[in-house]
């Protein structure tokens, strides 16, 4: 059994009309998770089945009494193993934190969705400590992308289980995090929508950190509207709705020329991107090529490891003293790069970032969004990254485009743009700092144009 409903809006309508119940939706998702032929065993690290059923029954009772806390009450979702849930340990996909104490409070991002009545199914798998874009977890297994399951292909990371859960109908949405692409990369490789808000839009309290300068909390779901609802509620809105429909005609998109964002694209990715841009142009959008030289500065200033290495090492120092041998060696190596970064280097990086952000913002101001492929690759085989050199090469290619917009502190979204039957490809739209509402409206118009 799988979920018969694909979007939050459709689920809310069916619940309001009495065509389904919260318990029905929850049972369908739990059955999908438990299916031994599916990916539930790898996508989830903790299934909270009885709590989910109890929450669903409570939402059904509240709806029957006319007291449902929101239209979304009773809809099942999942939570990445990075968020605190009161009474449960937060292990971040690691065995080094197996003895972590239970959290004393639930992270605000999760608590706000629970207050709206969403039903949490459990905690999803992830890259250890969120420090890779591949989705590989040697401790708990690697969930497979929906594409070419026979081969076994990377789901993208670090929110790997979150993306696979949504793609496979194990809930209608998922909470992820995005420091360098961890919502958008798995969304692209699993054929769904992933959103990275302007950093700090959603509170980071109760979320195990990777990089305090770059971390952001975002949703993964089947549609732009679903992500918009989840994002608004996590950001503290009292009510939320999908963005209103608007035409693509008249929207202005920037296409950065002579930049690494378009280097090394797989032919399937390049072709899907060209088709998507042509479709938008045919629908009346203005596509303008422009230069964004600041992008070339980002790898230069990050050469010593950047914010992620420095800030993750600062957090992990104490844990490394007692559990270093329990880390994935490939994640450990990335964290240890931060040990050699001095205070002056770190302060210089902050200054360089502020300068690059200001210059890039001026160049992109005329556009509703900047367009590029989300990743350069379609899902590689899991076996391909067993080789350490390939692990690093593919990881860099998957994160390259998304990480640029984390550095620029922009809101950014990945939409599927591949043709039916093709390998999944993501189209990334990046908006202005604090331009989240505008980007959602733009993305909804693009989604409709690509589907129409």
pTM of the model: 0.98
Strand order in the sheet with 286-291: 44-47, 119-124, 76-80, 173-177, 217-221, 193-196, 412-416, 426-430, 369-373, 252-257, 286-291
Catalytic status, residue 351: no
Catalytic residue among 7, 145, 160, 182: 182
Tokens linked to 29: 């998702």
* pLDDT tens-digit readout, 120-149: 999 999 999 999 999 999 999 999 999 999
Mean pLDDT of the region 397-408: 98
Q: What is the pLDDT of residues 19-38, one digit of tens each?
A: 999 999 999 999 999 999 99
> pLDDT tens digit string along 337-354?
999 999 999 999 999 999
Q: How confident is the model at residue 245 (pLDDT cuts 50, 70, 90)?
A: confident
Please, which pLDDT band fits residue 246 given cuts at 50, 70 and 90? confident
pLDDT at residue 77, rounded to an integer = 98
- Counts of helices then strands in the chain (DSSP H, E): 15, 11
- What is the spatial distance between Cα 95 and Cα 93, in angstroms, rounded to a whole number? 7
Stretch 425-440: mean pLDDT? 98
Q: Mark whether 182 is an active-site residue.
A: yes
> What does the block give as tokens for 295?
């992008």
Whether 243 shows a pLDDT value over 50: the answer reads yes
Question: Which of the following CATH numbers is that of domain 8-234: 2.60.40.10, 3.50.50.60, 1.10.10.10, 3.90.1300.10?
Answer: 3.90.1300.10
Per-residue pLDDT at 205 = 98
104: its two tokens: 């004393």
Residue 94 pLDDT > 80: yes
Q: Is the pLDDT of residue 267 over 90?
A: yes
Report the percent of the chain where pLDDT is more than 70: 99
Give 440's contacts (C-beta < 8 A, 6+ positions apart).
224, 227, 228, 231, 243, 413
Average pLDDT, the chain: 97
Beta strands 412-416 and 193-196: pairing type?
Answer: antiparallel
Q: Is the pLDDT of residue 452 over 80?
A: no
Q: Could you tell me if 396 and 376 are in contact, meaning their C-beta atoms sit under 8 angstroms apart? A: no
Closest CA to 289 of 405, 370, 374, 400: 370
Question: Is the pLDDT score of 54 beyond 70?
Answer: yes
Contact status, residue 147 vs residue 423, Cβ threshold 8 Å? yes
Task: Give the pLDDT score at 154.
Answer: 98
Tokens of residue 278, six digits: 């042509």
The DSSP code for 37 is: T
Alpha helices in 209-364 (DSSP H): 224-234, 267-282, 294-301, 306-323, 329-336, 343-364
Confidence of residue 4 (pLDDT cuts 50, 70, 90): low
pLDDT of residue 1: 37
Sequence spans of domains, the chain: 8-234, 252-293+365-451
Going by DSSP bridges, is the β-strand pair 426-430/412-416 parallel, antiparallel, or unpaired?
antiparallel
Instruction: Please pick, among 7, 80, 312, 412, the residue that the annotation labels catalytic.
Output: 80
Neighbouring residues of 179: CB distance < 8 A, sequence distance ≥ 6: 130, 158, 210, 211, 214, 215, 216, 308, 406
Q: Which of 7, 78, 145, 158 is catalytic?
A: 158
- Cα dihedral angle (291, 294, 300, 302), rounded to 10 degrees? -130
């Amino acid at each position: 059994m799988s979920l018969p409903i694909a979007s939050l809006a459709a689920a809310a309508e069916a619940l309001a009309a009495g065509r389904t119940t919260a318990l029905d939706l929850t049972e369908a998702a739990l059955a999908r998770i438990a299916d031994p032929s599916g990916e539930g065993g790898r996508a989830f690290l903790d299934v909270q089945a009885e709590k989910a059923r109890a929450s669903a029954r409570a939402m059904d009772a509240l709806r029957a009494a006319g007291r449902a806390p929101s239209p979304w009450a009773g809809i099942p979702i999942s939570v990445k193993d990075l968020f605190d849930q009161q009474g449960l340990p937060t292990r971040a996909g690691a065995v080094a934190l197996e003895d972590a104490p239970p959290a004393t409070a639930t992270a605000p991002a999760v608590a706000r969705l629970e207050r709206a009545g969403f039903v949490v199914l459990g905690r999803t798998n992830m890259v250890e400590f969120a420090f890779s874009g591949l989705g590989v977890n040697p401790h708990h297994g690697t969930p497979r992308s929906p594409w070419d399951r026979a081969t076994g292909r990377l789901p993208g990371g670090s929110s790997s289980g979150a993306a696979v859960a949504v793609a496979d109908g194990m809930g209608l949405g998922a909470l992820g995090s995005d420091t360098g692409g961890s919502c958008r990369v798995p969304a692209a490789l699993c054929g769904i929508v992933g959103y990275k808000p302007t950093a700090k839009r959603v509170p980071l309290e109760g979320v195990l950190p990777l990089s305090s300068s770059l971390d952001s909390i975002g949703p993964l779901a089947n549609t732009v509207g679903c992500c918009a609802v989840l994002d608004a509620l996590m950001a503290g809105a009292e009510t939320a709705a999908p963005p209103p429909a608007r035409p693509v005609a008249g929207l202005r998109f920037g296409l950065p020329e002579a930049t690494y964002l378009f280097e090394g694209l797989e032919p399937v990715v390049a072709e899907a991107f060209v088709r998507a841009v042509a479709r938008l142009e045919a629908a009346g959008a203005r596509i303008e090529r422009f230069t964004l030289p600041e992008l070339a500065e980002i790898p230069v200033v990050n050469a010593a490891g950047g914010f992620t290495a420095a800030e993750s090492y600062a957090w992990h120092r104490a844990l490394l003293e007692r559990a270093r041998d329990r880390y994935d060696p490939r994640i450990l190596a990335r964290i240890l790069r931060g040990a050699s970064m001095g205070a002056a280097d770190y302060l210089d990086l902050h200054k360089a970032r502020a300068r690059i952000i200001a210059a890039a913002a001026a160049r992109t101001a005329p556009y509703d969004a900047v367009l590029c492929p989300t990743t350069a690759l379609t899902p590689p085989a899991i076996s391909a990254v067993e080789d350490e050199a390939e692990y690093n090469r593919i990881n860099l290619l998957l994160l390259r485009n998304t990480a640029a917009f984390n550095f620029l502190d922009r809101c950014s979204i990945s939409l599927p743009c591949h043709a039916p039957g093709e390998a999944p490809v993501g189209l990334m739209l990046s908006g202005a700092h604090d331009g989240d509402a505008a980007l959602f409206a733009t993305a909804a118009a693009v989604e409709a144009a690509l589907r129409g």
